[in-house]
Amino acid sequence: MIEIYTDGSSRGNPGPGGWGAVIFENGNVREIGGRDEQTTNNKMELKAAIKALESIKGSDVTVYTDSEYVMKGMTLWVNNWIKKGWRTANKKPVMNQELWQELLEATAGLDVSWKYVAGHTGHDYNERADVIATEFADGNTPKLYDGPEKSYK
Domain ranges across the chain: 2-151
Catalytic-residue membership of 146: no
| CATH number given to 2-151 | 3.30.420.10
Catalytic-residue membership of 68: no
CA distance 149 to 153: 9
Catalytic-residue membership of 138: no
Active-site option among 7, 102, 127, 135 = 7
CA distance 118 to 107: 23
Q: How confident is the chain (153 residues) per 10-residue block, as mean pLDDT?
A: 97 95 97 97 98 94 97 96 95 97 97 90 90 98 97 90
Verdict on whether the full-model pTM lies above 0.85 = yes
Catalytic-residue membership of 8: yes
Burial class (CB in 10 A: 0-12, 13-18, 19+), 87: middle
Name which of 101, 105, 25 is nearest 60 in CA terms: 25
Catalytic-residue membership of 130: yes
